Amino acid sequence: MQRAVSENRYRSDDSARVNPYRLDVFSESVREVVAEAGGWIVDRVLAGWRVTLITDADGGDCAGRILGCEVTIGSAIADASRPRPYGIVLTSALCRTDIQLQQCIADALDRQIAEISLIGVRPSGHCDPRFRPVTHRVSSAAQAFKAYAQVAAGLPDSSVEVTERFLSAALGEPNVANSKCRSPERRRETARKRFS
């Protein structure tokens, strides 16, 4: 009897406060998120993460909900009572065009307050050495959800890839280049000196 009571406690509406795994996804459109990282996001949701998709574009709510995301307009996200996310995902296009967002991301990386991932970018397209290429193998369930989300987002009806690629800077990544672009040889040399 005691065990059933404690299990119910974790199934309550307070689960948002109990589960620290929150992921905020910033994008100009839901379509881009579905196309670039829809399977990875579904896998995160299935693992218990709370995902909020923040966009300036109206529409796409259905596709976002199919992925398991709460979809909100960017201006609505400024609520100070909202818990800070453990992870932040950005589309490369948004990161390139929004100077304020670039500064926030650089600060988050320097202070190591969140895991940062960039979607829609090729590994050679970003210069911060803290970002590493990641290949995520999409589960069968996530492939099915992504396929439905693609249709809802108005994307071409095509098969869902088994893997999705993006860049990610995990918490605890050393800042070996002080956020400045350097050649790979120079970055390796700097890292060797720092950790020797």
CATH code, domain carrying 180: 3.40.50.10320
For residues 149 and 16, give the distance between their C-alpha atoms in angstroms, rounded to a whole number: 25
Three-state DSSP at 44 gives: helix
Domain that holds residue 99: 18-195
Number of domains in the chain: 1
Residue 9 falls inside a structural domain? no
d(Cα 196, Cα 185) in Å, to the nearest integer?
16
Place of tokens 């090729």: 122
pLDDT in tens, 13-66: 444 454 568 999 988 889 999 999 999 999 999 999 999 998 877 777 899 999
Residue 11 in domain: no
164 vs 109 pLDDT, higher one: 164
The reply to whether 153 falls in a domain is yes
Domain assignment of residue 8, yes or no: no
List, in order, residues 6 or more apart from 195 with CB less than 8 Å away. 174
Asked, for residue 4, whether it belongs to a domain, the answer is no
- Neighbouring residues of 40: CB distance < 8 A, sequence distance ≥ 6: 136, 138, 142, 164, 166
Q: Does residue 141 lie in a domain region? A: yes
Structural domain contains residue 48? yes
Look-up of token digits 């700097």: 190
Q: Quick one: pLDDT band at residue 189, thresholds 50, 70, 90?
A: low
Global model pTM greater than 0.75: no
Residues whose CB is less than 8 angstroms from the CB of residue 42 and which lie 6 or more positions away in sequence, other chains included: 67, 68, 138, 139, 141, 142, 145, 146
For residue 156, name the pLDDT band (cuts at 50, 70, 90). Answer: confident
Within a domain: 62: yes
